């Protein structure tokens, strides 16, 4: 079982372990949880989860289970998730974990990481958003299997002094030419895992510390403005890894599929991420050649 852990922008949404006990579904622009609750598929963890669930449905595999809590920024919902994971991770023993919007808290991060590393079979661990920030801050970023930063966030990972992207030296000055030295610096300081999808006008696929591929087509400039496009890429990578794809194929396929979805939807800068995710099944069906080979073969 793969677990996605993250928060929702809803102060009234209590910690919901029910999402781990059964499969969630996506319909009508809503993420439906096994206990009957439904949340809108908007930017953030709901967008990542909906992407992964819809992609898994097309791949013909069981979708990830969800551990969600509402947190509008106080950190309370995030700490509820951290605490639940620390106490119960052994019981669910996930094959993989994707951490998303969580309040950066080093102490809680370290407790959860220790719990994950104590499992008999350590899970594949993916981190994005706030959890990627805190993983780097903690000094244990290299304990993870995959981060999905954009170019500015790569500069943050490469800046060993920065506790948050807000303080990153040269954050907005990072250019694609800078990827190799920034990657090298982040790796040297142990501030990133060996595998990354570096998102930008050109996506860089990094496996075992080396750039193995780049993806720059099709290019839809409006995607830069749309909140949730990073969630889309991380959700796709989660789905492919959840299906057993190798890291290199999962990352490349995620970057390509997100771009093909953008091309299909032809968004403008005002398009909402939910509108794109609705079209994901059609995009997946029309681009089977992009799927990781193991999944493409098994679902025929």
Partner 1 sequence: MTQNSSQTSLLHGFAQKLRGLFSPGGKGSDMDSGSGGKRGCNDRGLLVFDHTGEVIRAERLLRKAGLDVEVKGPPPELRTGCDMVVVFELVSQARVLDVLEREGLAPSQVVSAHDVLLEPVSLFQIKHLDDRWLMVRAANMKITLDAADGRIVNISGGGCPDVPWVAHRLCGLRLDEAPDPLTMGQTLCCYSLQKAFEELRRQVACGA
Q: Smallest distance from the beta carbon of 129 to partner 1, in angstroms? A: 4
Toward partner 1, which CB reaches closer, 48 or 260?
Answer: 48
**Nearer Cβ to partner 1 (4/207):** 4
**Residue 245 Cβ, how far from partner 1 at the closest point, in Å?**
25
Intra-chain end-to-end CA distance of the chain, in Å: 23
Shortest Cβ 40–partner 1 spacing (Å):
8
Q: Which of 177, 287, 273 is nearest to 234 (CA)?
A: 273
Cβ closer to partner 1: 57 or 185? 185
Q: Shortest Cβ distance from residue 151 to partner 1 (Å)? A: 11
Q: Which is nearer to partner 1, 39 or 247 (CB)?
A: 39
Nearest approach, Cβ of residue 189 and partner 1 (Å) = 14
User: In angstroms, what is the minimal distance from the CB of 66 to partner 1?
Assistant: 15
* Nearest C-alpha neighbor of 264 from the set 206, 220, 209: 220
Nearer to partner 1, 161 or 285 (CB): 161
Q: Which is nearer to partner 1, 5 or 89 (CB)?
A: 5
The CB-side HSE value for 196 (13 A sphere, CA atoms) comes to 30
Place of tokens 């999905």: 148
| Binding interface with partner 1 (CB under 8 A) | 7-11, 42-45, 71-75, 77-78, 101-107, 128-134, 137, 150, 152-153, 156, 161-169, 171-173, 221-222, 224-230, 268-272
Q: Which residues of 122-134 are buried (b: 16+ CB within 10 A; e: fewer)?
A: ebbbbbbbbbbbb
User: Given the structure tokens 């309040």, which residue do they identify?
Assistant: 103
Measured between alpha carbons, how far is residue 171 from residues 164, 185, 190, 257, 270 in Å? 11, 14, 19, 27, 25
Chain-centroid distance of CA 143 in Å reads 16
- Whole-number Å distance between alpha carbons of 280 and 261: 6
């Amino acid at each position: 079982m793969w677990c996605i852990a993250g928060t929702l922008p809803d102060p009234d949404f209590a910690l919901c372990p029910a999402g781990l006990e059964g499969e969630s579904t996506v319909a009508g622009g809503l993420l439906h949880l096994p206990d009957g609750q439904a949340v809108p598929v908007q930017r953030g963890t709901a967008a990542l989860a909906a992407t992964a669930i819809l992609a898994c449905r097309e791949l013909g595999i069981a979708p990830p289970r969800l551990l969600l809590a509402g947190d509008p920024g106080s950190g309370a919902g995030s700490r509820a998730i951290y605490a639940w994971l620390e106490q119960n991770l052994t019981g669910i023993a996930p094959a993989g974990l994707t951490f998303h919007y969580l309040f950066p808290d080093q102490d809680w991060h370290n407790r959860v990481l220790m719990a994950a590393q104590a499992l008999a079979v350590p899970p594949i661990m993916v981190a994005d958003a706030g959890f990627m920030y805190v993983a780097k801050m903690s000094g244990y970023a290299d304990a993870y299997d995959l981060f999905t930063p954009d170019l500015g966030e790569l500069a943050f990972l490469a800046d060993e002094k920065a506790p948050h992207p807000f303080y990153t030296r040269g954050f907005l000055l990072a250019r694609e030419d800078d990827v190799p030295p920034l990657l090298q610096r982040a790796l040297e300081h142990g501030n990133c895992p060996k595998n990354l999808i570096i998102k930008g006008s050109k996506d860089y696929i990094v496996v075992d510390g080396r750039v193995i591929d780049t993806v720059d087509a099709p290019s839809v400039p409006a995607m830069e403005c749309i909140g949730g496009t990073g969630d889309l890429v991380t959700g796709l990578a989660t789905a492919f890894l959840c299906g057993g794809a190798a890291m290199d194929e999962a990352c490349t396929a995620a970057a390509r599929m997100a771009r093909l979805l953008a091309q299909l939807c032809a968004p403008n800068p005002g398009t909402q991420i939910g509108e794109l995710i609705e079209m994901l099944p059609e995009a997946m069906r029309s681009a089977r050649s992009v799927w990781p080979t193991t999944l493409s073969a098994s679902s025929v």
